[in-house]
Amino acid sequence: MTRLPDRGVVDRAAPLKFTFDGRELTGFRGDTLASALLANGVHQVATSIKYARPRGIVAAGVEDPTALVQIEAPFPEPMLSATTVELYDGLVARGLSGQGRLATEPDPARYDAEHIHCDVLVVGAGPAGRAAAAEASGRVLLVDDQPEPSGEIPGGVRFLSRTTAFGVYDDGFVLALERRGENAAPERISRRRVWRIRAKRIVLATGAHERPVVFPDNDRPGIMLAGAARTYLNRYGVLAGQRAVVFTTNDSAYAVAFDLADAGARIAVIADARDTVSARLREDAAARGIEIRTGHGIVGTAGGDRVTSAVVAELGATQGDRFACDLLLVSGGWNPAVHLFSQARGTLRYAPELGAYVPDGDLPTVRVVGSAAGEGLPEVKVLWQVPAAESEVDTRFVDLQRDATVSDVLRATGAGLRSLEHVKRYTTIGTAHDQGKTSGLLAAGITAEALGRDLAEQRPTTFRPPYTSVPFAALAGRNRGDLHDPVRVTALHPWHVAHGAEFENVGQWKRPWYYPRPGEDLETAVLRECRAARTGVALMDGSTLGKIDVQGPDAAAFLDLLYTNLMSSLKVGRIRYGVMCGVDGMVIDDGTVIRVAEDRFLVTTTTGNAAMVLEWMEEWLQTEWPHLRVFATSVTEHWATIPLVGPRSRAVLAKVAPGLDVSNDAFGFMTWQDAEVAGIDARVCRISFSGELAYEINVPSWHGITLWEALLAAGAEDGITPYGTETMHVLRAEKGYPIIGQETDATVTPQDLGMSWAVSKKKPDFLGKRSFTRAENLRPDRKQLVGLLPQDPAVLLPEGSQLIETDHVPEPPVRMLGHVTSSYRSAALGRTFALALVRSGRERVGQTLYVPVGAAVVPVTVTESVLFDKEGTRRDG
Amino acid sequence: MQLIPCPWCGPREETEFHYGGQAHVAYPQDPAALSDEDWAKFVFFRANPSGPLPERWTHSAGCRRWFNAVRDTRTHDLLAVYRLDEPRPVIP
């Protein structure tokens, strides 16, 4: 039996059934999956990722590099370390080779986060942490990653168990992960909780991790860190082996050997790399009949799913005596767990007596205590690897999880890599789930030896959060599904849903994309919607358009500085299209500006840019032009906006707005009027983004559905058709109207878009003006917006396709002339067409260019960007 | 995550703020009078010291007001925070 009746603190009254690799096994409450497996004599847990070698349990905590498991039930979780999985009834797990499987169905568990402030945060509830917590004053928070503290928690201290502090950030900000759900009722509480801690002062009592020594065949199951065996014995009552070989560089492994011997194990031999061992240890060993060989190490092992023997040889020799064993305990010394201190930008110092890095003094608000500071750790003979004979296949594993060997490190240094960061990336050492807790320092030491350097001078790699792996689900918390990102819907949204609209995400908005009728796909629906807008009457939900109310005595002067064209000359009651540029002269947004009153304008922006434009305005008002008396306020959600489009739109509007003279003379293009529409006070604008006769009707958003339904009723006999964003895009593209962000990126000027007419020559200055005369902006070979007609009218060019000059793709580098920004099938043109940004595009009108599409090269004719109704006669009806 | 002391709201988490680039780069009085080179310097060139740098920040998820801060680019420490109408403090 490997579970001893008289050792350990597991709850033997609470047996737990679990399944591992299909075997039904039993453990106790208080076990980890690793301790329960060892209690059942299971040493091989997994196989290695690259060489598929059997791998076991190396450690008893978060530093374990090999015992990787996939939890299958109650819910699939990949890549967990068996040493950190608390055993619970019904657990189903299997060993992994270093790659897990994500669940395909949504996780039903809840995850959440809590914010907490404290005067002192103590990380680690060992003796040093508890002492620090007892001394601290004010609000004290103590966190520890184990289920139970190893001693009494001081009074007045808030204690969180099963909580791992995994990241220390600026200004006392610490993130910690609490594991809650597996042992409690998951339907009532969250499975994991992220604590977002803001602490005035931090005390790190994070302890130390034992490190191994590298030797040939050091990866077999049953080869374990010495301290881990002691933990399995004293905490879980599990004797990890019956006959053990111990290999050490320091005193700490002796206590392990004696504990195991006292519990009934046979210690075959202690191989001590040091030349001398204290008389006291020699006496204690002799009393137990344990042989000690000083100046010795391990040069080889044998075994399959578990180690069966180890060869003990004098350091430097390659031959030695073979000892049968079922457990090989290794101690290369102890590494203070300085991860969190290093994350807090604490500097480290190499301590040669420990063969490890220790904090080089405290930070103003971060203190390290106990073994994390190197206190009480045993002096060691620094030994990274046992000298070994050359072999064809190197099995001297430095990083067991990555299957990276000493040869891999030497290959890196042999290739000329000198910095530890480069060696790390070349070998992948330290990049697995365990982040090199046992392998990082070994790699550093072996690298330093290879380069003839001193670790005291070689800077260690930087520790970054997270200290242990954290599930994305925990980081996401409740911010998933519907709560992942705010969804913005218009006042008309319920109607769109009820009428089968397909939606498109535009920023956070849900916009109707198209309204398919039974049997229709996107293409046929859009062609139908386009025909309705061009030949009859159609309407869309334009409510998402950004709307900013700009008011104040200096509003007109402000807009003159912001837009490329003149806004102060706009009369009340009129509307002007405007383009906005950055100081570099590149277009950042466009829209219409309505003059509501002498001191008040309503500015519209593209749907996705509304917030950006408001921020742009506020930035200039606050930082450069604080003398301007202007307020800018977002009013996007206040209005429902419905463009009514098409040759029959005037007749339909007349029906629902009997008091409004809709004739072209009384209600001209680019003017607006207040009117009662369908009994609702409305602002009606004559604006056209389709090229057709069109009215944009704005009502307070709560009247949106009433207006929409009234327009549908009034237009029923004209076959009024709702249309979505896809149709809107086709209609505007036929007219050559660019969409900012689709036709443009941050390198396109108004002139490139063919919009010199929208750039004032009169204004002394506006944002972007000076840049237009820079040499770069005047180059004749800038990319300009043009239309493209594929010579085969059925061929639809993929958006993003590149344009070249030749009818075949030449040898690279291929000169790229530009790219397709928009591409559609047009009902009005009876063919496909595209818009593109093309080098010297306007000069190329009439030329044939080529677009590689897959294996084919499609010839296209370059045209002006306006492809439909060039004269603009349709907009007046 | 850093705490940034907004001059109006007090210390708040950095996710509430937006960075606005180097401070005290005033929009030129008369851009037309500048040479291409001087204009390019205004548009494209910014200081990149290893040490204190005056910067503009806005408390975009709070009071939405802009302010200046001197940040040490080596440590990210905010050495001073001041309103736009206040002079740049002398950093000892």
B76 touches chain A (CB under 8 A): yes
Q: Mark yes or no for CB contact B1/A169 under 8 Å.
A: yes
Which of 195-214 (A) contact B at CB < 8 A?
198
Half-sphere exposure at residue A423, Cβ-oriented, CA atoms within 13 angstroms? 34
pTM for the predicted model, two decimal places: 0.90
Residue partners of A592: CB distance under 8 A and separation at least 6: A575, A576, A577, A578, A603, A604, A685, A687
Q: Mark yes or no for CB contact A770/B56 under 8 Å.
A: no
**A169 contacts on B by Cβ (under 8 Å):** 1-2
Specify the CATH superfamily of domain A546-637.
Answer: Aminomethyltransferase beta-barrel domains (3.30.70.1400)
Task: Please give the structure tokens belonging to residue A228.
Answer: 């881990």
At the topology level, CATH places domain A107-206+333-378 in FAD/NAD(P)-binding domain (3.50.50)
pLDDT confidence band for A266 (50 / 70 / 90): very high
Q: Looking at chain A, how many residues does it have? A: 877
B12 touches chain A (CB under 8 A): no
Percentage of chain A with pLDDT > 90?
A: 94
**Mind spelling out the 3-state secondary structure of A274-295?**
CCCCCHHHHHHHHHCCCCEEEC
Q: Mark yes or no for CB contact A623/B60 under 8 Å.
A: no
Does position A453 have pLDDT exceeding 60, yes or no? yes
Does position A109 have pLDDT exceeding 60, yes or no? yes
Mention the CATH class of domain A11-95. alpha beta
Interval A544-565 mean pLDDT: 97
B82 touches chain A (CB under 8 A): no
Q: Which residue of B has its CA nearest to A774?
A: B36
**B42 contacts on A by Cβ (under 8 Å):** 583
> What type of residue is A483?
L
Q: Do residues A578 and A592 lie in contact, with contact meaning Cβ atoms separated by under 8 Å? A: yes
Interval A415-423 mean pLDDT: 95
pLDDT confidence band for A557 (50 / 70 / 90): very high
Torsion angle, alpha carbons of B64, B65, B69, B75, to 10: 0
Omega before A108 within 30 of 0, i.e. cis: no
> What type of residue is A319?
Q
User: Which overall architecture, per CATH, does domain A779-877 show?
Assistant: Beta Barrel (2.40)
Note the pLDDT tens digit of each residue in A351-397. Answer: 999 999 999 999 999 999 999 999 999 999 999 999 988 888 999 99
Q: Which residue has the higher pLDDT, A391 or A756?
A: A756
Q: Does domain A493-543+638-731 fall into CATH 3.30.1360.120? A: yes
pLDDT confidence band for A75 (50 / 70 / 90): confident
A771 touches chain B (CB under 8 A): yes
pLDDT in the model for residue A459: 82
Please report the ipTM that was assigned to this predicted complex: 0.97
Does position A186 have pLDDT exceeding 80, yes or no? no
B35 touches chain A (CB under 8 A): no
Does position A481 have pLDDT exceeding 90, yes or no? no
Q: Mark yes or no for CB contact B36/A775 under 8 Å.
A: yes
> What type of residue is B35?
S
Q: Between chain A and chain B, how many beta carbons pairs sit less than 8 Å apart?
A: 57
Does position A6 have pLDDT exceeding 80, yes or no? yes
Note the pLDDT tens digit of each residue in A597-634. Answer: 999 999 999 999 999 999 999 999 999 999 999 999 99
pLDDT confidence band for A184 (50 / 70 / 90): low
Q: Do residues A255 and A233 lie in contact, with contact meaning Cβ atoms separated by under 8 Å? A: no
CA distance A730 to A70: 50
Interval A45-50 mean pLDDT: 95
Q: Mark yes or no for CB contact A615/B65 under 8 Å.
A: no
- C-alpha distance from A774 to closest chain B C-alpha (Å): 6
Does position A143 have pLDDT exceeding 70, yes or no? yes
A200-204, A468-472, A575-579, A861-865, range with the lowest pLDDT: A468-472
CA distance A593 to A602: 6
pLDDT in the model for residue A460: 86
DSSP state of A352: T
pLDDT in the model for residue A98: 85
Q: Mark yes or no for CB contact A769/B40 under 8 Å.
A: no
Domain ranges of chain A: 11-95, 107-206+333-378, 493-543+638-731, 546-637, 779-877
Q: Which residue of A has its CA nearest to B45?
A: A584
Does position A246 have pLDDT exceeding 70, yes or no? yes
Percentage of chain A with pLDDT > 70?
A: 99
- C-alpha distance from B74 to closest chain A C-alpha (Å): 11
